[in-house]
Copies of this chain bind each other. A is one copy, B any other.
Amino acid sequence: MQQGGSSSPSCSASTPHCFPLGHLNAAACGSETSPEPQKHEVNAHSAPAGLSRMRPIIIFYTWYLLGLALSVACVVCVCVWSSKWRGGFAWNGSGLQFNWHPVLMVTGLVVLYGNGAVLYRVPLTWGQNKLPWKLLHAALMLLALILSIVGLCAVFDFHNANKTPNLYSLHSWIGIAATALFAIQWVAGLAVFLLPCSPISLRILLKPVHVWMGGSILSLSIAACISGINEKLFFVLKGNTNGTLPYNALPPEAVLANSLGVLIVAFGMVVFLILSNHKWQRPDSRPEDMAYTPLLQEESE
């Protein structure tokens, strides 16, 4: 569950599992023999072009593209479920307003969030200046947070319009906890890792907490999605009482929504795989390189 952990694997120039990015290798592999921190410049073309040395990059992008494909599949699947099987969308307190809830939570709290989490792992982002990618990371996470909050508003409005109590189920407890922790994480991340007023010692102290909390929030989001899909299918597929086939007969809607749950879990596993592989970690995410120039100074350069 490491997004930008505190360590680096040992390897030499001939170690086959390290990324073939020329002098990036020494930094990525955390050589402790260099007396001075190195500046890292990405120039993949300067690396030996042998196919065998490109293999780690190809493996990374294979997993990354699988993650993107699963992202698209999750969003398409939840949209089809809400529009085709649940009647579409509205914002009028009806069940059609509720339909925004799964779409926005899956898109925001899982898909956008997971893609924002792995952003720094993409070798294309390993330029000398981390700032644009930090801003993109923060922007993706902010968009994810906004979608999640609108998704919560959809279900609160629906409950209030139908005189249904809010926040009684375990699903709602886990979902609201995930969103609240996400909001705290985003504000703390902005204050600690982007604004220039935070001391470097605080960044070094809080980086592992940010990484651990980031992974925990994704796990909570997935648990909330699984329990929410499960709950919704028991609510709407009642068999004799509302003219549908019961959930336990596995009608097509149940297969679709269960498959959505499987896709969400598969996406989460790919995200955790990418985050857990230290060979795919951004070179200057090592703690000794965390003393980068903060936001305002970088902007003035």
Contact = CB atoms under 8 A, between A and B. Distances in A.
B276 A212 contact: yes
Interface string A1-39: 110011111100000000000000000001111000000
A149 B268 CA distance: 25
A211 interface: yes
Interface in A165-222: 165, 168-171, 173-174, 177, 208, 211-212, 215-216, 219-220, 222
Interface string A210-242: 011001100110111011011101100000000
Nearest to A288: B10
A182 to B, nearest CB: 14
For chain A, give the interface size range. Answer: 35 or more
Contact of A170 (B216, B219, B230): B230
A286 B11 CA distance: 12
Given A1-B272, A219-B222, A276-B2, A168 B248 contact: yes
A30 B10 contact: yes
A283 interface: no
Nearest to A254: B168
Contacts of A231: 227, 230-231, 234
